[in-house]
Each structure stands twice: as structure tokens, then as C-alpha cells.
Amino acid sequence: MIRAIPLQVVSLVGALFLAACPNTEGYVYTETDTTETGTPVGSACTLDSECGENLRCQGGICSTGACQGDDDCREGELCVFGECTPDTEFECRAGQAPILDINPPEMDFGAVSVGGSATRSIVIRNLGSCLLTLQGVGKSSTTPADFVCERCAVSNFPKRIPPNRSYEITVVFSPTSPGNRDGILEVRSDDESYPIQQVPMNGRYEGTPRLLVEPETLDFGFQTAATAITRKVRLSNVGEGNAVLRITDVRLASPGLMGFTFTPEIQAPSGTVTLTPTVAGSTDCLTTGGCVDLDVTFTPPGYATYQNDLVITYDPPPTTGLPYVRVGLKGYSTTPPELRLSDSVVDFGDRQVGMAVDYQVVSVFNDGQTPMTVQITISPLSSTDFRTEAPLPLELPVPPGGYARLKVHYEPTELGQVAGEVRVATNDPNIYNAAFGTGTKTIAIRGNGTPSTFNDILKVEMTYENGDSGFFGNDFRNVNLIFESPFGDICTQPTYGASAPGAPLQIVSDPCAIWPMSGDSAFAGTPRWIAIGAGQEPERVILNNAGAATSFPLPYVVSASYEEDCASIPSGLVAGLLGISVDALVGYISGGSINLGGGEIADFIQEMCWDHASSTATITVFINGAAALNCSKTLGAKGITLPVAEITRTNGMFEARCR
């Protein structure tokens, strides 16, 4: 049996050992029972005298004085090498001093998600040669309540830390609102050089909320008096990161005006709605809490025109602009719009393949007393030799007694009879089409391609990936078609110049029109660039007159150029911030068909864009009206131009292949 060593000797040896070997972290002390046989170790007690020789009463039981930590010892003692030792053994003497060390010197909690928290810790260590007294640890008065310090209660201090011992402090960050958070954890001790040390704390509730309102105008059109119709307005938080957005108030701008009501009622403080982040167009945002739908009902009490605004207030407000948005509401109960077309058939007759053909105009009349909405589409079964130009935005909606002009084009590339169909959809409630429903009339179009002296006709068509199938929603991606001759001449979209605001722009330069003429050594045919609709999709280049027996040493090259890669930004938001209409913005983005005043809008879209994405361009090559090739290529980012297909001309014959 190992004999017990007096406690004072243990204390002295411990102090000497610490001075000689300060790095004792992790040292495990194992105690061997040093009592005489039969001493009551573990027996209940209240006084030391009740225990056997070399035992003491500790925590209500007889013990040898062994310990695992300071909590196992009496007041005024510290656990050193498994023995409870009086803290007076480590008091500072002449030439000795405690040294406070904190690691890490700051706490960075990073980004924390909605409803989440993050935990960080610091270790306070005594690097000196005598006892360090930790007088207190706590947050500064300016530190946000989002930071919570564990073990910082006043009752935990003072805390005595012997040489080379440490004490751990833990802080939890649980953000309650968006934005960055900064705070200070103050550590007070008897370190004479640095009695107060500060530990910076920072965390963030990352992201910026953005309110998306769809639609931004609710036009109920004609509605019979004393009947009701309900439509939805969706409010979504499509911000970045994990920042939430609160809808604090929804009300009618003029509550005294009759005709419009809405549900649910949203009004602070009890009826607010919190929206978590989602993505534009999400199908499950109602389930995830990323959006809320307002049911707006139009019930005209009499025969009149009705207008109001739905005012939606939200928090946090945008960094610029007002903390609310308005949704325009309008409806009519006067005589409904009445659609009348000047022609139900457009017949171009016989036209030589490869020749330019003048467009024909169909007038779209409104004979009713209510403004008439108009949407023009061409049947997907129509020949690709046909295209339409919808009425200008300034003509829509068609006012009572007014009309709009629809242009129908025929570019014959195919021999023989071709046909198509144009659909004119309106809000006329008294017209019914068995195939397309209420408000729609159709126009039959036909033409006959006849032989010409222009040999083979080459048509190149490009479509591209755009989530909204045009520029009328949130997706502004735009790709241009470039057609290059074997001699380096380019045919692509013209350059437009300024004209009166809202009017079609004038062509300043058309690269397709300056190709070398017939008889020039670099003559490679006569090209024309064409774009379909306001969104300019698809784009086409038609080439004729390449020569009956011509062979070129190099191919024609078809490329796709990524002009705009913004895949998510509401057109209504951009239009509203710019102070223009959505239709005018659409015209600008689609290639300058509307004058808006230069490249500042493109810069604004680039700055405000919420998401940039790639797009896949698809090139289809037609030879004499028949599809000969289909190629696709993905464009990764704005500014990229890639060749997609090439076409060779040998002995008067075209042959196409993908690049």
C-alpha cells in the first residue's frame, strides 16, 4: 500500500511542477486509496473528524480529497493534479503576474438561416505564473439581443483560473430580423496589463427580401352589372438569401368607391403575413410560405366604369422608393367590347419563291363601348413562311369605336400551296369559337410559291430557351442570330435610331442590306433578316439568289450571340421603376422596336437582375422550305457568341451540318 502524502506537500510539489512544466493540459491524475485498512471512504459525514485518518468530509461523504474538477473541491480550493489544493498556493507573489489569453480573438457566426441559430465559443486561458481572477464576462450595452451568452451570469463570477488552466464561454446567435449584427463580449480580470479585453462578435441574417406582385394591374374587363367575378393577386418574396418579408397592410386606395372587395384582410399589428424566400413562378410557394394570394372580386353595382387601387404595404421597405406598391383595378359594366375584323381570309396568291412580298393589313375594330384587349397568335401548324406583326402597344387596348392594325407577312421559300391561321383573342363576351372559347376569331392565310430564277432558297431559323416564351414575364434572356457569308459578310439584327417616344424606331443601318451585289467576286446571295413578334423569337435569315452552279471554298456560318442573360426580374417592376409601361419595356428589350432613350435601360436591367442563367439556342435550317438540319448549343453567359451550324454551297447545292 502507498502511504498518504500530506496535503501541504502535495500543494508544494504541484506548484513546483507547474512552474517547471507549465503544459499540463490533459494530465490525468489517478488517486490510490491511501487510508488505513477499514477507513470509511464514502461514508456519510458532516465534519472531518467523523472520517478516518487522512480523510476529510467533502460533499457530505468521507473522501481522500481526490477531484476531477474545481466543483469537487471546497470553497477556496482548486483541483490540481486530482487533488483539492487551497487557492492561496497560487496567489501572486513578487515577480509573478497572471496573463489573460483569449482564443479565438473574435467570434464570426456567419450567415444564419430563418429560425436558426449558430454557436461559437472562446477559451480564456491563464498564461501567467500565478492565479488569474476572472471578475466577469458579459455583453456590452450596445450588443443586440440576438447574441446570448452562456455562463455569463453574475453568479458565475469571480472565477479563479490557476496557471495554464482555462475557462470556456459559449455564445449563441439567433437573428430576429434581416441584416448584419455586430456586438462585443467584454472580459474583465485582474490582468494588470489588460484588465478589460473585448471580443468582437458578428453574424448576419443574410439576403435582401424583394416583393413580387403578380399581376400589377387587374383588368376585369366587361362584367354584367350586379354579377361578380374574382381574380387573384399573388404576393411573393423572391429575395436573395434567407431574408423574410412581412406584408403589413392591404387596403383599397379609395375605400368609399364601390365595385371592388378583397380577402383576406391584412392589417397590422395582428393580421400581418410573413413570407419566407421563394423563387419566381414557384408552384409550391403557398405551401412553403413564400407567397400569399389575395382574392379580388369585382361586383359592379350599376352600368358604369370602375377604377381603384389596391395598396400593399410591406416591411422591410426597399432601399429606394416607397414602402408600398399599388395594383391597379379596373372593370366595366357598360356595353361590352365588340370585335370586328376587316378580313377573315388573307390570300397572297401566287408569289415567286425567294421574292420579297408586301405585307397585308387586317384591321381589328372595337364596335362596343368598353376598351377591348387584343392578343395575336399564329397557329403552330401554320407554314413557317407566314408571320404576323401585332398592333403597336400605343394601339392597345382598342378604345370604343377605335381599331388596331394587324400585319400579316408572307416570305415564300416553299413551292406550292401553303396555309396558316391567325388567332385574334379579345375580351368580347359575345363571340364564341368552338376550338378557342369566348372572344376569339380566326383569320385564314394562304399563299402559293411559284418557281423562280433564284435557285435554292435557304432559310435559317433560331429559337432559344426563355422561361416566359418571350419578354412579357420575368425572363429577359435574349439571343441574336448571326449569319456569316463565306466571304465574311454579316447578316443580323439591324441597328435602330431614335424616333418619337412610343413610336417604332427607324433603321439606322442594316448589315444584311450591304452584302456585295451580284457580279461582285464576293457575291454570296441576297439575305434578309426577320424577327417574329415583340419578343423577336424566332429570328430568321432568308437567303436567295446564291447562283445555279456556284461553289464556295468556305461555308456559311450560323452563330448565336447571347445579348442578355437576365433570367429573373419582373418586367413590371423594371417598368415601374423606370416610369414606363411594360409594353414599352418589352419593345426595348426585344431589339429596339420602341424608343426609350438608349442603353441606360440595359444597364439598369443588368444592375437589378435577380438571377443570371444560361440559354440553349436551337438552329433549324430549311432548304427550299423543307427542314434539313436541327442543331442546339448552350450559351453560358452574356457576351458569348458561338457557331452552331455551317452550310456549304457546292455546284449550286446547299448542304448543312452542326458545328
Give the rounded percent of residues in the chain with a pLDDT score beyond 70. 82
Residue 1 has pLDDT above 50, yes or no: no
* Highest mean pLDDT (candidates 61-70, 285-294, 456-465, 588-597): 285-294
Residue 607 has pLDDT above 90, yes or no: no
Residues in the chain: 659
Among the ranges given (49-63, 271-285, 316-330, 591-605), the one the predictor scored with the smallest mean pLDDT: 591-605
Q: Which residues of 628-640 are buried (b: 16+ CB within 10 A; e: fewer)?
A: bbebbbebeebeb
Q: Could you report the per-residue pLDDT of 177-216, keeping only the tens digit for each?
A: 767 889 999 999 999 999 999 999 998 876 778 899 999 8
Q: Which residues of 457-478 are buried (b: 16+ CB within 10 A; e: fewer)?
A: bbbbbbbbbbbbebbbbbbbbb
Say if strands 478-484 and 556-564 run parallel, antiparallel, or are unpaired. Answer: antiparallel
Residue 451 has pLDDT above 90, yes or no: no
Q: Which grid coordinates belong to 310?
A: 389596391
Q: Could you report the per-residue pLDDT of 219-247, keeping only the tens digit for each?
A: 888 888 889 999 999 999 988 777 788 99
**Residue 610 half-sphere exposure toward CB, CA atoms < 13 A:** 23
Residue 610 has pLDDT above 90, yes or no: no
What number is the average pLDDT over the span 86-102?
90
What number is the average pLDDT over the span 427-432?
89
**Residue 538: is the preceding peptide bond cis (ω within 30°)?**
yes
How many CB atoms lie under 10 A from the CB of residue 193?
9
Q: Which CATH architecture has domain 212-332?
A: Sandwich (2.60)
Residue 18 has pLDDT above 50, yes or no: no
Handedness of CA 79, 81, 87, 90 (dihedral sign): negative
- Which residue, 338, 452, 457, 352, is CA-closest to 400? 338
Q: Which grid coordinates belong to 110?
A: 456567419
Measure the CA–CA gap between 527 and 542, rounded to whole angstroms.
Answer: 5
**Is the Cβ–Cβ distance between 530 and 539 less than 8 Å?**
yes
Q: Per residue, what are the HEC states of 278-333?
A: CCCCCCCHHHHCCEEEEEEEECCCCCCEEEEEEEEEEECCCCCCCCEEEEEEEEEC
Q: Could you report the per-residue pLDDT of 339-370, keeping only the tens digit for each?
A: 999 999 999 999 988 787 899 999 999 998 88
More confident residue, 585 or 195: 195
Confidence at residue 106, expressed as pLDDT on a 0 to 100 scale: 95
Measure the CA–CA gap between 11 and 90, rounded to whole angstroms.
Answer: 9
Q: Which CATH number fits domain 339-450: 2.60.40.10, 2.40.390.10, 3.20.20.150, 1.10.357.10?
A: 2.60.40.10
User: Which residues, including other chains, have CB under 8 Å from residue 511's CB and lie 6 or more apart?
Assistant: 489, 490, 491, 492, 494
Among the ranges given (123-127, 187-191, 519-523, 612-616), the one the predictor scored with the smallest mean pLDDT: 519-523
3-state helix, strand, coil in the chain (%, to 5): 10, 45, 45
Q: Which grid coordinates belong to 343?
A: 378580313
Within 56-164, strands assigned E span 56-58, 61-63, 77-80, 83-86, 100-103, 107-111, 118-126, 132-139, 147-150, 159-161
More confident residue, 451 or 182: 182
What number is the average pLDDT over the span 398-410?
91
Q: Which grid coordinates belong to 19?
A: 512552474
**Is the Cβ–Cβ distance between 598 and 496 less than 8 Å?**
no
Measure the CA–CA gap between 219 and 329, rounded to whole angstroms.
Answer: 6
Among the ranges given (71-75, 372-376, 377-381, 525-529), the one the predictor scored with the smallest mean pLDDT: 71-75
Q: Which grid coordinates belong to 257?
A: 368607391
Give the rounded percent of residues in the chain with a pLDDT score beyond 90. 39
CATH no. for 100-205: 2.60.40.10
**How many Å separate Cα 613 from the centre of its chain?**
11
Angle between helices 582-589 and 571-578 (to 10 degrees): 100
Confidence of residue 131 (pLDDT cuts 50, 70, 90): very high
Average pLDDT of the chain, as a whole number: 82
Confidence at residue 233, expressed as pLDDT on a 0 to 100 scale: 95
Kindly report, as residue ranges, where domains of CATH 2.60.40.10 are found in the chain: 100-205, 212-332, 339-450
Residue 59 has pLDDT above 60, yes or no: yes
Three-state SS at 78? strand
Q: pTM for the whole thing?
A: 0.49
Residue 86 has pLDDT above 80, yes or no: yes
Three-state SS at 159? strand
What number is the average pLDDT over the span 515-543?
80
Say if strands 339-341 and 437-438 run parallel, antiparallel, or are unpaired. Answer: unpaired
What number is the average pLDDT over the span 247-265?
92
